[in-house]
Amino acid sequence: MTRIVQEIPPHCLVQTRKCPTCRAQITGVYRQFASAEKLHEWIESSGMERIMLRPLRCPRCDGSDTPASQVMPSHITAYVDGVILGEPMSLGEWSTAVTGPNSPPYAVTLSREAAETQERAILEFETWPPSAFEAFATAYVRDTVEKNRLDDIWRRWTPRQWSDAFVAAGIPQPSRPSAYKAEARNHVEPILSTYLRKAIADVQFLSLPVWAERVATRLDPWTAQYLVLYVPLPETLEDMRTELIGRFVRKSSVHGNAALFGRLRDVQAALDEQRAKSRRLLEQLSEQRREIAERDSRLATAYARIRTLEDQLARQSAEQTAEPRDMAKRAQWKALVADLRAEVARLERTLDRSQAHPIDWLTEQDSDDPTPPCQEVFDLQGKTVLIVGGPWAQFPDGEYPCAILHHDGHREEGLEAALNAADIAVIVTSHISHNSYWRVREEAADRGIPLGFTTATNPSRILDLASRIG
C-alpha cells in the first residue's frame, strides 16, 4: 500500500486514514513530545480521550476525497524513539449531514464548500473563551436547581468525581466521603459551574458530533440534553444541533414536546438511512474508478506496444524485408499488432459499457486528453449549449460547432435568460454553488432541456458529453 506521510518525529502521536479513491495511507503528525516520558505522561493524563480530529486531505486526490467524512483520520498511533508503540487506536467515524434549502425532504447532500465551511466553524468554536458561555452556565445552574435535578446529577458521581469537583471549585474537602452531597448543597453554584465548564471544554475540543458519539453518555441525561439543546454554537454548526436533538433529547416534563421530538427522531432515522446510502454509492464510485484506472493503464500499455511495433516495421527497408527470415518476423509483428488492436477495441467497448450508466452526480471525470476542442463532436450544429460552473471567468475561446453560453454557477443574475436560450445544459459539478445546481436541475426538468453532469474542465470533454445527451 502506498503511504503519504509527513516526516515523523521520534516521540509523537500520528493520525492516519486510507484514501477511498487511490487507497493510499495518509499520515499526519497530531502531537509531538520532547521525550518518551512526556508522551507517556500525556497519555496517562488524557486517557487518549481528548483528541481533536484534523482533516487529512490526500494530495493525489484533493477534490475527489470529499466530503468531510472522507478526510477525517480513522486511527491514531503512538511512536516512541521512532517505533510504533502498541496497536493503532480507532478514532471512530466522523460525519456531518448538510441539507440545502432546495433539497428534497431528508435528502443529504455533501459538498466540498459546505464541508470546508463547517471545518472552519469547528476550529473557530474551539477558540471561544469561557466568557462566551457565562450566560449559558448561569441558566444551567438556575434551571437545575429550579427543576430539582441536583440528585439526578449527583446520583452517578463516584468519590473520585466528588473529590475532583471540590478541588476544582476551591472548596475544602469534607471529613467523610458520605458528607460530600450534603456539603455540596452549600456550594451548588461553583460545583455545578465547574462540572458544566468541563463538559463545555470537551465539546469545544472534540466538536459536537464526536462529543455526542464518545463522551455524552458519560454525563447525566439532564446535563447532556441541556448541552445539546442550549450550548452556544456558531451559526454554521446549528445543523449539527438539530440532528443531535433527535438522538439525545427524549420526551420529558422539562425538555420538550412529544410531537416535536417524535418528528426530530423521524428526521434522524431518515438521515441515518441516507448516510448509509451515500456510503454505498461512494464505495461503488471508488470501485468504478479503480476499474477504469486499470483499463486505462492496460490501454496505454497496448497503445505504446503498437507504436513501438509500427516504428520497427516502418524502419524495415525493402532490402531487409526481401529475406525470408525478415519476412517471417514482419508477419509475426503484423499478427501481434492485429491482436493488440483487437484487445484495445475490446477494452474500449468494456469501458464504454461501464460508463453507460454512471452515478448521476458524477457522469464524467476530468483528464489530460490533449485532443483539440470539439475534434470529435459532430452533432451539435445549430444548437446552443449552456455550461453552468467551471473554473473560468468565461468559457475558453475556440472554434466550436455550436453556440456556447456560459454561466459561472455562483450568481443568480443571467441564469434565467441563459436557460431560456439553451437547447442543452451541462453542469460542471466541481465549480457550482448548491443553490445554482438545484435550480438548473429543476428548471431543466421543467423545460425538457437535456442535462448532463461532469467534473471535467476540458472543453472537448464537456462538449462531447453535450453531444451524447443532446
Domain boundaries, given as residue ranges, for the chain = 3-94, 119-256, 279-354, 384-469
pLDDT at residue 279 above 60?
Answer: yes
Using the CB atoms, write b or e for 166-201: b if 16+ within 10 Å.
beebebeebeeeeebeebbeebeebbbbbbbeebbe
Q: What is the pLDDT of residue 424?
A: 92
Q: What is the pLDDT of residue 256?
A: 52
Three-class DSSP category at 126: helix
Q: Are strands 424-428 and 384-388 parallel, antiparallel or unpaired?
A: parallel
Which of residues 407 and 331 earns the better pLDDT score?
407
Among residues 387, 429, 392, 421, the alpha carbon closest in space to that of 406 is found at 387
* Contact of 94 with 55, CB cutoff 8 Å: no
| Average of per-residue pLDDT across 289-316 | 82
Least confident of 68-82, 149-163, 355-369, 450-464: 355-369
| Average of per-residue pLDDT across 62-73 | 59
H or E element, residue 3 = strand 3-4
> How far is Cα 383 from Cα 421, in angstroms, rounded to an integer?
10
Q: What is the pLDDT of residue 409?
A: 87
pLDDT at residue 383 above 60?
Answer: yes
pLDDT digits (tens, 9 = 90+) for 116-147: 787 888 888 888 999 999 999 999 999 999 98
Q: What is the pLDDT of residue 129?
A: 92
Least confident of 20-34, 35-49, 59-73, 296-310: 59-73
pLDDT at residue 259 above 60?
Answer: no
Among residues 466, 468, 470, 465, the alpha carbon closest in space to that of 364 is found at 465
Which of residues 240 and 76 earns the better pLDDT score?
76
| pTM of structure | 0.39
Which of residues 188 and 333 earns the better pLDDT score?
188
Q: What is the pLDDT of residue 216?
A: 79
- pLDDT band of 1, cuts 50, 70, 90: very low
